[in-house]
Structure 1
Amino acid sequence: MQKREAENVRPRLKEYYKTAVIPKLMEQFGYDNPMSCPRLEKIVVNVGLSQAREDIKVVDLAADEISRITGQKAQIRRAKKSISNFKLRQGMPIGVKVTMRRDRMYEFFDRLVSIAVPRIRDFRGFDAGAFDGHGNYNLGLKEQQIFLEIDLEKADKVRGMNISIDTSAKNDNEAKALLESLGLPFRKIKEQQPSKKEQIKK
Protein backbone atom coordinates (compact mmCIF):
# COMPACT_ATOMS: atom_id res chain seq x y z
CA MET A 1 0.00 0.00 0.00
CA GLN A 2 2.82 2.39 0.93
CA LYS A 3 4.66 1.59 -2.31
CA ARG A 4 1.56 2.42 -4.36
CA GLU A 5 1.12 5.73 -2.52
CA ALA A 6 4.80 6.59 -3.12
CA GLU A 7 4.42 5.91 -6.82
CA ASN A 8 1.50 8.35 -6.96
CA VAL A 9 3.47 11.20 -5.38
CA ARG A 10 4.13 13.86 -8.00
CA PRO A 11 7.63 15.43 -7.96
CA ARG A 12 7.68 18.76 -6.14
CA LEU A 13 8.87 20.74 -9.16
CA LYS A 14 6.32 19.11 -11.46
CA GLU A 15 3.56 20.14 -9.08
CA TYR A 16 4.99 23.66 -8.92
CA TYR A 17 5.02 23.81 -12.72
CA LYS A 18 1.34 22.93 -12.89
CA THR A 19 0.16 25.20 -10.08
CA ALA A 20 2.43 28.24 -10.43
CA VAL A 21 4.45 28.24 -13.65
CA ILE A 22 1.64 27.48 -16.10
CA PRO A 23 -0.59 30.36 -14.88
CA LYS A 24 2.40 32.71 -15.01
CA LEU A 25 3.33 31.71 -18.57
CA MET A 26 -0.31 31.91 -19.71
CA GLU A 27 -0.49 35.50 -18.51
CA GLN A 28 2.95 36.42 -19.85
CA PHE A 29 2.45 35.03 -23.37
CA GLY A 30 -1.33 35.18 -23.69
CA TYR A 31 -2.02 31.47 -23.96
CA ASP A 32 -5.67 30.42 -23.77
CA ASN A 33 -4.94 26.74 -23.17
CA PRO A 34 -2.61 25.43 -20.42
CA MET A 35 -1.50 22.67 -22.80
CA SER A 36 -0.02 25.34 -25.07
CA CYS A 37 2.45 26.45 -22.41
CA PRO A 38 6.10 25.43 -22.91
CA ARG A 39 7.23 22.50 -20.79
CA LEU A 40 10.29 20.39 -20.17
CA GLU A 41 10.54 17.42 -22.54
CA LYS A 42 13.86 15.77 -21.72
CA ILE A 43 17.21 16.39 -20.06
CA VAL A 44 20.42 14.76 -21.27
CA VAL A 45 23.53 14.65 -19.07
CA ASN A 46 26.68 13.89 -21.03
CA VAL A 47 30.30 13.40 -19.94
CA GLY A 48 33.10 13.20 -22.50
CA LEU A 49 35.95 10.82 -21.66
CA SER A 50 38.95 11.44 -23.88
CA GLN A 51 41.19 9.84 -21.23
CA ALA A 52 39.40 6.51 -21.72
CA ARG A 53 41.89 5.79 -24.51
CA GLU A 54 44.62 5.38 -21.88
CA ASP A 55 42.59 4.08 -18.95
CA ILE A 56 39.37 2.17 -19.56
CA LYS A 57 38.57 2.24 -15.82
CA VAL A 58 37.50 5.88 -16.04
CA VAL A 59 34.44 4.79 -18.04
CA ASP A 60 33.08 2.74 -15.15
CA LEU A 61 33.93 5.45 -12.63
CA ALA A 62 32.22 8.18 -14.67
CA ALA A 63 29.20 5.97 -15.39
CA ASP A 64 28.80 5.24 -11.69
CA GLU A 65 28.97 8.93 -10.78
CA ILE A 66 26.46 10.02 -13.42
CA SER A 67 24.12 7.18 -12.46
CA ARG A 68 24.16 8.34 -8.83
CA ILE A 69 23.70 11.99 -9.79
CA THR A 70 20.73 11.32 -12.07
CA GLY A 71 19.21 8.27 -10.39
CA GLN A 72 19.25 6.45 -13.72
CA LYS A 73 21.73 4.00 -15.24
CA ALA A 74 24.23 5.72 -17.53
CA GLN A 75 24.75 4.56 -21.11
CA ILE A 76 28.23 4.32 -22.65
CA ARG A 77 28.78 6.32 -25.84
CA ARG A 78 31.12 4.70 -28.33
CA ALA A 79 33.02 6.06 -31.33
CA LYS A 80 31.09 5.54 -34.56
CA LYS A 81 34.25 5.47 -36.66
CA SER A 82 38.02 5.27 -36.28
CA ILE A 83 40.17 8.43 -36.37
CA SER A 84 43.86 7.57 -36.54
CA ASN A 85 45.07 11.09 -35.73
CA PHE A 86 43.33 10.89 -32.35
CA LYS A 87 44.19 7.21 -31.78
CA LEU A 88 40.47 6.54 -31.80
CA ARG A 89 39.08 3.18 -32.87
CA GLN A 90 35.51 2.42 -33.86
CA GLY A 91 33.54 1.15 -30.88
CA MET A 92 35.90 2.67 -28.32
CA PRO A 93 34.16 4.31 -25.30
CA ILE A 94 34.23 8.10 -25.62
CA GLY A 95 31.73 9.13 -22.96
CA VAL A 96 28.70 8.33 -20.84
CA LYS A 97 25.24 9.85 -20.89
CA VAL A 98 21.81 9.67 -19.32
CA THR A 99 18.53 10.76 -20.92
CA MET A 100 15.75 11.64 -18.48
CA ARG A 101 12.08 12.24 -19.10
CA ARG A 102 8.89 12.68 -17.08
CA ASP A 103 9.16 12.49 -13.26
CA ARG A 104 12.85 11.63 -13.09
CA MET A 105 13.60 14.65 -15.27
CA TYR A 106 11.74 16.97 -12.88
CA GLU A 107 13.41 15.41 -9.84
CA PHE A 108 16.87 15.93 -11.35
CA PHE A 109 16.12 19.52 -12.41
CA ASP A 110 14.88 20.27 -8.89
CA ARG A 111 18.10 18.96 -7.32
CA LEU A 112 20.14 20.84 -9.91
CA VAL A 113 18.66 24.29 -9.24
CA SER A 114 17.90 23.87 -5.53
CA ILE A 115 21.03 22.08 -4.27
CA ALA A 116 23.81 21.72 -6.84
CA VAL A 117 23.93 25.16 -8.52
CA PRO A 118 24.01 27.11 -5.21
CA ARG A 119 27.19 25.14 -4.37
CA ILE A 120 29.08 26.53 -7.40
CA ARG A 121 31.77 28.94 -6.22
CA ASP A 122 31.53 32.55 -7.43
CA PHE A 123 28.45 31.70 -9.48
CA ARG A 124 26.62 34.62 -11.10
CA GLY A 125 24.16 32.78 -13.30
CA PHE A 126 24.16 30.84 -16.56
CA ASP A 127 24.68 32.36 -20.00
CA ALA A 128 21.34 33.34 -21.54
CA GLY A 129 22.96 33.14 -24.97
CA ALA A 130 23.35 29.35 -24.83
CA PHE A 131 19.93 28.59 -26.35
CA ASP A 132 19.96 26.87 -29.74
CA GLY A 133 17.33 29.01 -31.48
CA HIS A 134 14.67 26.31 -31.09
CA GLY A 135 13.86 26.61 -27.40
CA ASN A 136 16.50 24.21 -26.10
CA TYR A 137 19.31 25.09 -23.68
CA ASN A 138 22.81 23.76 -23.05
CA LEU A 139 24.86 24.39 -19.95
CA GLY A 140 28.22 23.12 -18.79
CA LEU A 141 29.31 22.27 -15.25
CA LYS A 142 33.02 22.19 -14.44
CA GLU A 143 32.89 19.71 -11.58
CA GLN A 144 30.66 16.89 -10.42
CA GLN A 145 31.34 17.57 -6.73
CA ILE A 146 28.55 20.13 -6.54
CA PHE A 147 26.10 17.21 -6.44
CA LEU A 148 25.59 15.76 -2.96
CA GLU A 149 25.42 12.26 -4.44
CA ILE A 150 29.18 12.39 -5.08
CA ASP A 151 31.46 11.10 -2.31
CA LEU A 152 34.43 13.49 -2.40
CA GLU A 153 36.75 10.89 -0.88
CA LYS A 154 35.95 8.35 -3.59
CA ALA A 155 35.98 10.72 -6.59
CA ASP A 156 39.04 9.86 -8.72
CA LYS A 157 39.22 13.31 -10.37
CA VAL A 158 37.30 16.50 -11.09
CA ARG A 159 34.98 15.73 -13.97
CA GLY A 160 32.79 18.21 -15.85
CA MET A 161 29.58 17.54 -17.74
CA ASN A 162 27.23 19.01 -20.31
CA ILE A 163 23.51 19.23 -19.61
CA SER A 164 21.07 19.64 -22.50
CA ILE A 165 17.55 20.76 -21.62
CA ASP A 166 14.96 20.23 -24.33
CA THR A 167 11.65 22.10 -24.08
CA SER A 168 8.48 22.36 -26.15
CA ALA A 169 8.88 26.16 -26.38
CA LYS A 170 8.35 27.78 -29.77
CA ASN A 171 11.34 30.06 -29.34
CA ASP A 172 14.23 30.88 -27.02
CA ASN A 173 12.38 33.70 -25.27
CA GLU A 174 9.60 31.38 -24.11
CA ALA A 175 12.11 28.70 -23.16
CA LYS A 176 14.07 31.17 -21.03
CA ALA A 177 10.88 32.26 -19.26
CA LEU A 178 10.07 28.61 -18.54
CA LEU A 179 13.51 27.75 -17.16
CA GLU A 180 13.68 30.94 -15.08
CA SER A 181 10.25 30.19 -13.63
CA LEU A 182 11.48 26.71 -12.69
CA GLY A 183 14.45 28.19 -10.85
CA LEU A 184 17.35 28.18 -13.33
CA PRO A 185 19.35 31.39 -12.71
CA PHE A 186 20.66 33.41 -15.65
CA ARG A 187 23.28 36.15 -15.55
CA LYS A 188 22.05 39.71 -15.67
CA ILE A 189 22.32 41.34 -19.09
CA LYS A 190 25.24 43.57 -18.03
CA GLU A 191 27.21 40.51 -16.92
CA GLN A 192 26.60 38.53 -20.11
CA GLN A 193 29.70 37.66 -22.11
CA PRO A 194 29.73 39.17 -25.64
CA SER A 195 28.90 36.72 -28.42
CA LYS A 196 31.58 35.55 -30.86
CA LYS A 197 30.12 37.83 -33.55
CA GLU A 198 30.36 40.82 -31.21
CA GLN A 199 33.97 39.93 -30.36
CA ILE A 200 34.90 39.76 -34.05
CA LYS A 201 33.38 43.20 -34.69
CA LYS A 202 35.55 44.66 -31.96
Structure 2
Amino acid sequence: MRFLKNYSESIVKYDLINKFTYKKTVDIPKFEKIILNFTFKKYEFKSLISSLIALELLTFQNPIITKSKVSNISLKVRKGHPIGCKLTLRKNFMFNFFFKLLNEFLLTTSKKVNVKKQKDKSFSFIIKNILVFNELEKNYRFFKNLSNLNITLVTNSKNKNNLLFLLKSYKIL
Protein backbone atom coordinates (compact mmCIF):
# COMPACT_ATOMS: atom_id res chain seq x y z
CA MET A 1 0.00 0.00 0.00
CA ARG A 2 1.39 3.34 -1.02
CA PHE A 3 0.03 5.07 2.09
CA LEU A 4 1.87 2.75 4.46
CA LYS A 5 5.10 2.96 2.50
CA ASN A 6 4.90 6.76 2.53
CA TYR A 7 4.16 6.73 6.28
CA SER A 8 7.21 4.58 6.97
CA GLU A 9 9.49 6.72 4.79
CA SER A 10 8.39 10.11 6.08
CA ILE A 11 7.19 9.78 9.68
CA VAL A 12 8.63 6.59 11.18
CA LYS A 13 12.05 7.14 9.65
CA TYR A 14 12.40 10.63 11.13
CA ASP A 15 11.06 9.53 14.50
CA LEU A 16 13.75 6.86 14.61
CA ILE A 17 16.43 9.36 13.61
CA ASN A 18 15.37 11.73 16.39
CA LYS A 19 15.17 8.98 19.00
CA PHE A 20 18.37 7.03 18.19
CA THR A 21 21.68 7.94 16.60
CA TYR A 22 22.74 6.28 13.36
CA LYS A 23 25.99 6.63 11.45
CA LYS A 24 24.46 5.67 8.10
CA THR A 25 20.96 5.86 6.69
CA VAL A 26 21.16 2.15 5.89
CA ASP A 27 21.22 1.42 9.64
CA ILE A 28 17.71 2.83 10.14
CA PRO A 29 15.42 -0.13 10.91
CA LYS A 30 12.66 -1.03 8.49
CA PHE A 31 10.62 -4.11 7.63
CA GLU A 32 12.37 -6.52 5.30
CA LYS A 33 9.82 -9.32 5.02
CA ILE A 34 6.75 -10.91 6.57
CA ILE A 35 6.53 -14.69 6.92
CA LEU A 36 3.11 -16.36 7.21
CA ASN A 37 2.95 -19.96 8.39
CA PHE A 38 0.30 -22.59 9.09
CA THR A 39 1.36 -25.79 10.87
CA PHE A 40 -0.59 -28.98 11.55
CA LYS A 41 -0.15 -31.66 14.16
CA LYS A 42 -1.67 -34.33 11.92
CA TYR A 43 -1.65 -34.70 8.18
CA GLU A 44 -5.12 -33.93 6.88
CA PHE A 45 -5.69 -33.18 3.23
CA LYS A 46 -8.72 -30.93 3.83
CA SER A 47 -6.94 -28.66 6.30
CA LEU A 48 -3.89 -28.44 4.02
CA ILE A 49 -5.98 -27.36 1.03
CA SER A 50 -8.00 -24.84 3.04
CA SER A 51 -4.84 -23.29 4.52
CA LEU A 52 -3.26 -23.01 1.07
CA ILE A 53 -6.36 -21.27 -0.27
CA ALA A 54 -6.57 -19.02 2.82
CA LEU A 55 -2.99 -17.78 2.36
CA GLU A 56 -3.60 -17.23 -1.32
CA LEU A 57 -6.78 -15.23 -0.63
CA LEU A 58 -5.02 -13.06 1.95
CA THR A 59 -1.87 -12.29 -0.03
CA PHE A 60 -2.53 -13.06 -3.74
CA GLN A 61 0.59 -15.25 -3.86
CA ASN A 62 1.09 -19.01 -4.00
CA PRO A 63 2.29 -20.54 -0.70
CA ILE A 64 4.83 -23.35 -0.37
CA ILE A 65 3.96 -26.68 1.26
CA THR A 66 6.36 -27.57 4.07
CA LYS A 67 7.19 -31.24 4.52
CA SER A 68 8.46 -33.09 7.57
CA LYS A 69 12.19 -33.81 7.64
CA VAL A 70 11.98 -36.62 10.19
CA SER A 71 9.31 -39.14 11.05
CA ASN A 72 7.47 -38.94 14.38
CA ILE A 73 5.60 -42.04 15.53
CA SER A 74 3.65 -40.34 18.32
CA LEU A 75 2.20 -37.75 15.92
CA LYS A 76 1.76 -40.34 13.13
CA VAL A 77 3.83 -38.27 10.70
CA ARG A 78 6.14 -39.91 8.19
CA LYS A 79 9.18 -38.36 6.62
CA GLY A 80 8.18 -36.28 3.60
CA HIS A 81 4.51 -35.81 4.58
CA PRO A 82 3.12 -32.27 4.38
CA ILE A 83 2.89 -30.63 7.81
CA GLY A 84 1.98 -27.07 6.86
CA CYS A 85 2.39 -24.23 4.42
CA LYS A 86 4.52 -21.11 4.37
CA LEU A 87 4.64 -17.82 2.50
CA THR A 88 7.22 -15.03 2.47
CA LEU A 89 6.13 -11.52 1.50
CA ARG A 90 8.47 -8.76 0.38
CA LYS A 91 8.19 -5.20 -1.01
CA ASN A 92 4.71 -4.20 -2.24
CA PHE A 93 3.05 -7.51 -1.29
CA MET A 94 4.43 -7.05 2.22
CA PHE A 95 3.00 -3.53 2.56
CA ASN A 96 -0.37 -4.62 1.15
CA PHE A 97 -0.70 -7.45 3.67
CA PHE A 98 0.66 -5.30 6.51
CA PHE A 99 -1.99 -2.65 5.77
CA LYS A 100 -4.68 -5.36 5.79
CA LEU A 101 -3.27 -6.76 9.04
CA LEU A 102 -3.31 -3.36 10.73
CA ASN A 103 -6.81 -2.43 9.58
CA GLU A 104 -8.69 -5.71 9.86
CA PHE A 105 -6.98 -7.41 12.77
CA LEU A 106 -5.13 -5.04 15.05
CA LEU A 107 -7.63 -2.16 14.96
CA THR A 108 -10.81 -4.24 15.10
CA THR A 109 -9.79 -6.51 17.95
CA SER A 110 -9.41 -4.93 21.35
CA LYS A 111 -7.03 -7.67 22.50
CA LYS A 112 -3.28 -7.40 22.41
CA VAL A 113 -1.39 -9.72 20.10
CA ASN A 114 -0.20 -13.06 21.48
CA VAL A 115 3.57 -12.66 21.32
CA LYS A 116 5.31 -15.86 20.38
CA LYS A 117 8.97 -14.81 20.03
CA GLN A 118 10.86 -11.59 20.14
CA LYS A 119 14.45 -11.34 18.99
CA ASP A 120 16.64 -8.45 17.91
CA LYS A 121 15.58 -8.65 14.27
CA SER A 122 12.20 -10.36 14.31
CA PHE A 123 8.87 -10.30 16.08
CA SER A 124 6.45 -13.25 15.92
CA PHE A 125 2.85 -13.47 16.98
CA ILE A 126 -0.13 -15.78 16.53
CA ILE A 127 -3.63 -15.12 15.19
CA LYS A 128 -5.89 -17.70 16.79
CA ASN A 129 -9.11 -16.65 15.05
CA ILE A 130 -8.22 -16.45 11.37
CA LEU A 131 -11.80 -15.51 10.47
CA VAL A 132 -11.10 -11.89 11.44
CA PHE A 133 -10.13 -11.24 7.83
CA ASN A 134 -13.10 -10.38 5.61
CA GLU A 135 -12.09 -12.68 2.73
CA LEU A 136 -12.11 -15.72 5.00
CA GLU A 137 -15.19 -14.73 6.98
CA LYS A 138 -17.31 -14.71 3.83
CA ASN A 139 -16.54 -18.41 3.33
CA TYR A 140 -16.94 -19.46 6.94
CA ARG A 141 -17.80 -23.11 6.25
CA PHE A 142 -14.60 -23.68 4.32
CA PHE A 143 -12.16 -21.98 6.75
CA LYS A 144 -13.71 -22.68 10.17
CA ASN A 145 -11.32 -25.54 11.04
CA LEU A 146 -8.06 -23.77 10.29
CA SER A 147 -5.23 -23.85 12.81
CA ASN A 148 -3.42 -20.77 14.16
CA LEU A 149 -1.67 -18.44 11.74
CA ASN A 150 1.91 -17.62 12.75
CA ILE A 151 3.12 -14.23 11.55
CA THR A 152 6.78 -13.18 11.74
CA LEU A 153 7.82 -9.60 11.05
CA VAL A 154 11.52 -9.47 10.09
CA THR A 155 13.41 -6.17 10.30
CA ASN A 156 17.00 -5.03 9.92
CA SER A 157 17.21 -3.53 13.42
CA LYS A 158 20.39 -3.92 15.46
CA ASN A 159 18.85 -4.24 18.94
CA LYS A 160 15.55 -4.72 20.77
CA ASN A 161 15.04 -1.02 21.52
CA ASN A 162 14.99 -0.18 17.82
CA LEU A 163 12.60 -3.05 17.13
CA LEU A 164 10.22 -2.08 19.94
CA PHE A 165 10.16 1.55 18.84
CA LEU A 166 9.45 0.49 15.26
CA LEU A 167 6.57 -1.75 16.38
CA LYS A 168 5.13 0.96 18.63
CA SER A 169 5.23 3.46 15.79
CA TYR A 170 2.91 1.18 13.80
CA LYS A 171 0.72 0.62 16.91
CA ILE A 172 1.41 -3.12 17.01
CA LEU A 173 2.44 -3.05 20.66
Q: Same fold judged by TM-score > 0.5?
A: yes
Q: State how far apart, in whole Å, the 2-side matches of 1:114 and 1:136 are.
A: 21
- Say if 2:84 is the partner of 1:95: yes
Unpaired segments ≥5 residues, structure 1: 1-9, 187-202
Report the secondary structure of 2:143's partner residue.
coil
What is the CA RMSD across the aligned residues, in angstroms?
1.9
- Say if 2:5 is the partner of 1:11: no
Q: State how far apart, in whole Å, the 2-side matches of 1:159 and 1:14 are.
A: 31
- Say if 2:28 is the partner of 1:37: yes
Which structure has the larger Rg over C-alpha atoms?
A: 1
Deviation, 1:37, is 0.8
Q: State how far apart, in whole Å, the 2-side matches of 1:19 and 1:87 are.
A: 51
- Say if 2:134 is the partner of 1:139: no
Match runs of 1:1-202 below 5 Å: 11-31=2-22, 33-52=24-43, 55-120=44-109, 122-123=110-111, 125-126=112-113, 130-132=117-119, 134-150=120-136, 151=138, 152-184=140-172, 186=173
Q: Normalising by structure 2, what TM-score?
A: 0.89
Deviation, 1:129, is 8.3
Compared with structure 1, are the counterparts of its residues 173 and 118 closer, same or farther at alpha carbon in structure 2 (3 Å cutoff)? Answer: same
Compared with structure 1, are the counterparts of its residues 127 and 144 closer, same or farther at alpha carbon in structure 2 (3 Å cutoff)? Answer: closer
Report the secondary structure of 1:77's partner residue.
strand
Q: Normalising by structure 1, what TM-score?
A: 0.77
Q: State how far apart, in whole Å, the 1-side matches of 2:163 and 2:122 are.
A: 7
Unpaired segments ≥5 residues, structure 2: none
Q: State how far apart, in whole Å, the 2-side matches of 1:137 and 1:165 are.
A: 5
Deviation, 1:31, is 2.8
Compared with structure 1, are the counterparts of its residues 161 and 18 closer, same or farther at alpha carbon in structure 2 (3 Å cutoff)? Answer: same
Q: State how far apart, in whole Å, the 2-side matches of 1:127 and 1:144 are.
A: 13
Task: Give the partner amino acid of 1:164.
Answer: T
Deviation, 1:69, is 1.4
In the alignment of these two chains, the number of paired residues is 171
Point out which structure has higher relative CO (alpha carbons under 8 A, 6+ apart). Answer: 2
Task: Give the partner amino acid of 1:44.
Answer: I
Compared with structure 1, are the counterparts of its residues 128 and 65 closer, same or farther at alpha carbon in structure 2 (3 Å cutoff)? Answer: closer
Moved over 4 A (4+): none
Aligned 8 A contact 1:135 1:167 in 2: yes
Q: Greater strand share, 1 or 2?
A: 2
